[in-house]
A and B are shown apart, each in its own frame.
Chain A
């Protein structure tokens, strides 16, 4: 006999209790009574682990990718050399730094001369990413046809440094303009340097319109010798800062954030911190959406796990009422009984967490292996937070979803020993829901750090479903009165009665089914639209070259040349550089907040157009009207993002300084622009009458197919004054990244769908005992297998149909909000889905239900009746 631990007033000592809980759990596990709850929990933890860890790693991978595009973790830009303390503080935080200097300058090879965009870099450059160099001009073009290949053998090699002193690397188009080759000497300021290689990709260059001239990259040490910088030169200095590459992403983010916070109050007016989104909107947008998708998948996975656990816990409680009553009869206190079952659930949580973590980490490793070839570098390992979340999933969801059911066990009256029909009071359903909502919300916020999305999914989802449930209950009651059930055949009527009679039970079941289906619909719908959006913004023949500075007299001829060469092109847009000076007669440079906006620091590309360019959409007001309409003054249409940042509203008066002339125009529309498309996009589009009399140049973008460098070189040589911007490498980069992310999205979709089906099976299992017993009774009374199937299948089918319709309604509502608030996509009701989804949910639930209940039809009824 064990010694008496703290003597308790009632019959069971605590020690005995712990022993009992362990022994009885073990017996139940061995007898297979706990299969469902254990499976549900393992499933929950596995799914949470996979999605948490996998998305954390993908996220970190994408962050890596994006820092490559920045060349650093953080960049500070300035028009003057940056102060030493900026460097010192960075070094004190263990950040590595590099300095770059950019400015335009004339360069010469022989007698040929052109303006180049010079970039001088130090020996540390680049801190992240690489410069791709080749020995031939336009080497990058040859790669466009191979983008689909995972391992692209580039004709160029990736170099993690800049050129040596005395050497320069140049862009292909500079060679074309100067009629030069690799190995030639080039005059830069007072120095003569050697052209050592062709730059095919400069990962941190971005696609800014204003890097008009071709790139020449040189060593920072050569700048002084060349005497290139004089006072008054338009230069851009940058500090690139990055952590040690081996640090985990969380640590990096923390250090970078520290530095950022330190920098912010020190920044002078000519200094600013640069982030990726300023630099490359197309890519940043895609990355943001991809990250949102990962978060969405994570939240939905938690929700699925929660549902599974709630069902399993309810089932668990039901099966333990008898044990509870018996223990109470034997003298155990309510608290002891509760502790007994809490301990059991705790063991279960630990057991399933361990197994789930093992399975989850194995599966995510396989996924990462599949994807890792696609990322430039290996995916970094997940941070501890990802694992912590995975570990927290089981206890947390158990708490939120299982506790109310668990507490019911404690409330069982000992009288149940005599009267089995006595069931403990159920919790107030609002209390159950609130607890569950709180648990999912906290977990998903923790998971994603995305308050908006967590709120939309969790609260929006619950409210939508509860509303639909209420409607469903009313409809069921109405249907009970209206539907002529007596006309149905016996077995269909039997199924119908089952659904109608216990509208609470039916609703609970439909709620579970429709939540699971809803999750599956949302994840699939968002995936489809996201991929379609990416595909749309980057079609195969998306423009990969920009041509600017086309003079009016060249327009006709240039168009013809492009068409003859077979380059798909956009229309030519007129462009006049001009500055926005006043908003409603207020000087923008005097406004402390506004003057930070980069668009106010430089000339904007102003254009005019009769028609709304493709990819643009009017959000407010009306597109520029012609004279016969209500408004006939000078008008302008403003891009929505800029309008928001500058607080420009409809009917505001804007003043522009164009070549010394001041224009005043009225804002008549606010417009959204698809920045993801590589087409000319404009912040300001004027009405026809305003700018036409000014000297104007034109710009366009066009697609150069692979293996047409001959025509391209020809084009550059024929029109030496027209600036050509090579976007092909950016294009390849974005496309490749989107391919990788799309693949990740596909795997996540598959995972969530798989988890959904498993949870659906668990949901079916919880109602199984009753169904199997009923089936066996019907069999005893002489129903044939076919008749029984007819009855059960029609019930499952009807449940599936109702759940499908409800799930679709809920999913449409949530997607509508998600698209509007988060993904910035246009939402369209998916009518075809309304046809085939209820059909497939009917089939799916029927199929799974048939699988789950097949035992009834197979086994002799007496065997079944004895078991239940």
Chain B
């Protein structure tokens, strides 16, 4: 079954460009980019600030429009869809985790998580709340259901965001610097949680990061520079099956690298 999913194409970019005009100047952020991501893959887009990786993520997720080229997500031609149609696609199978969490400040943790469940239109209010509660339990926030975002720490807020992202059972999850606003320890916990849930739910994960160690945990690493992918590491065969062991191994590696890295040169 997992092989079937793996072979199915989830995302396809063909010759995608993004040009923005600021004042009289034209700025090319992405140039003629082509890319394919299969169902169940985990992919990291890495690169320096300003390399265009966040813009790429926005276009892949249908949050932004490309200037030219084709974007196919789950068989849907996003480049031919208007904002509302793209929203409907997002509601059905796309989850997001942002660097700045982007929780709704007026809603409690529980309500934040149950919102996309209800928006998917498949569950009643009561059922949505029940599921949201289960999700918050999974991310370890069972005791924080009624808290508002401003009453939660950064790590807790990101957990809520992760619970929200998975709660609508997305086929693909986009994460934009998910640990960017967190300290290293909390960031590590968040990453573990993200990968654990991802494996459990067979979700395709596409994340943007400049954190090499985070990128290392993905099957594919796409390195960007000046609006183009300059280097790609292909997935290792059987990576998905060995995931758990591999992860543990990686974690150890990271612990050691962290200590070495932390030592001043």
Contact = CB atoms under 8 A, between A and B. Distances in A.
A693 to B, nearest CB: 84
Interface string B68-111: 00000000000000011001111110101010001111110001
B63 A780 contact: yes
A340 B141 CA distance: 44
Contacts of B119: 490, 781-783
A786 B82 CA distance: 13
A487 to B, nearest CB: 9
A780 B90 contact: yes
A502 interface: yes
A863 B64 contact: yes
B58 interface: yes
A754 interface: no
A860 B88 contact: no
Given A782-B90, A783-B119, A861 B106 contact: no
B58 A862 contact: yes
B150 interface: yes
A290 to B, nearest CB: 49
A782 B94 contact: yes
B156 interface: no
Given A780-B90, A781-B91, A784-B84, A497 B63 contact: no
B130 to A, nearest CB: 13
Given A780-B102, A860-B58, A860-B64, A486 B84 contact: no
B115 A421 contact: no
Contacts of B107: 497
A501 interface: yes
A863 B59 CA distance: 11
Interface in B31-72: 58, 63-65
Contact of B106 (A501, A781, A784, A785): A501
A734 B89 CA distance: 71
A786 B91 CA distance: 14
Contacts, number: 69
Residue of B65, B87, B88, B103 with most chain A CB atoms under a 10 A cut-off: B87
A489 to B, nearest CB: 10
B118 interface: yes
A498 to B, nearest CB: 5
B173 to A, nearest CB: 13
A781 B115 contact: yes
A502 B148 CA distance: 12
Contacts of B83: 779, 785, 857, 860
Nearest to A770: B105
A783 B64 contact: no
A781 B116 contact: yes
Interface string A845-868: 000000000000100111101000
A192 interface: no
A785 B104 contact: no
Contacts of A861: 63
Interface residues of B, number: 31
A105 interface: no
Given A780-B96, A865-B98, A502 B87 contact: no
B84 A785 contact: yes
A494 B87 CA distance: 18
B142 interface: no
Contacts of B92: 782
A109 interface: no
Contacts of A497: 106-107, 111
A783 B63 contact: no
A421 B101 CA distance: 14
A778 B115 CA distance: 9
Interface in A461-501: 486, 490, 494, 497-498, 501
Contacts of B88: 782, 784
Consensus secondary structure, chain A interface: helix
B125 interface: yes
B125 A486 contact: yes
A392 B102 CA distance: 44
B87 A783 contact: yes
A774 interface: yes
Contact of B118 (A490, A774, A862): A490
A658 interface: no
Contacts of B65: 860
A106 to B, nearest CB: 90
A464 B116 CA distance: 42
Given A502-B106, A860-B65, A862-B63, A782 B91 contact: yes
A777 interface: yes
Contacts of A860: 58, 63-65, 83
A781 B116 CA distance: 6
A87 to B, nearest CB: 76
Contacts of A502: 106
A541 B84 CA distance: 65
Contacts of A490: 115, 118-119, 125
B104 A777 contact: yes
Given A497-B107, A774-B104, A860-B58, A782 B87 contact: yes
A806 to B, nearest CB: 22
B148 to A, nearest CB: 8
Residue of A494, A497, A777, A865 with most chain B CB atoms under a 10 A cut-off: A777
Nearest to A777: B102
A498 B63 contact: no
B66 to A, nearest CB: 11
A782 B116 CA distance: 8
Interface in B142-179: 150, 164, 168
Interface in A207-238: none
A494 B150 CA distance: 18
A861 B102 CA distance: 12
A219 B19 CA distance: 91
Contacts of A770: 105
Contacts of B87: 779, 782-785
Contact of A783 (B58, B91, B103, B150): B91
21 contacts: A421-B150, A490-B118, A490-B119, A490-B125, A497-B106, A501-B106, A777-B102, A779-B87, A781-B90, A781-B91, A781-B96, A781-B115, A781-B119, A782-B89, A782-B90, A784-B84, A857-B83, A860-B58, A862-B58, A863-B64, A865-B102
Given A777-B102, A777-B104, A785-B83, 14 more contacts: A421-B150, A490-B118, A497-B111, A498-B106, A780-B90, A780-B102, A781-B115, A781-B116, A782-B89, A782-B119, A783-B91, A784-B88, A786-B84, A860-B64
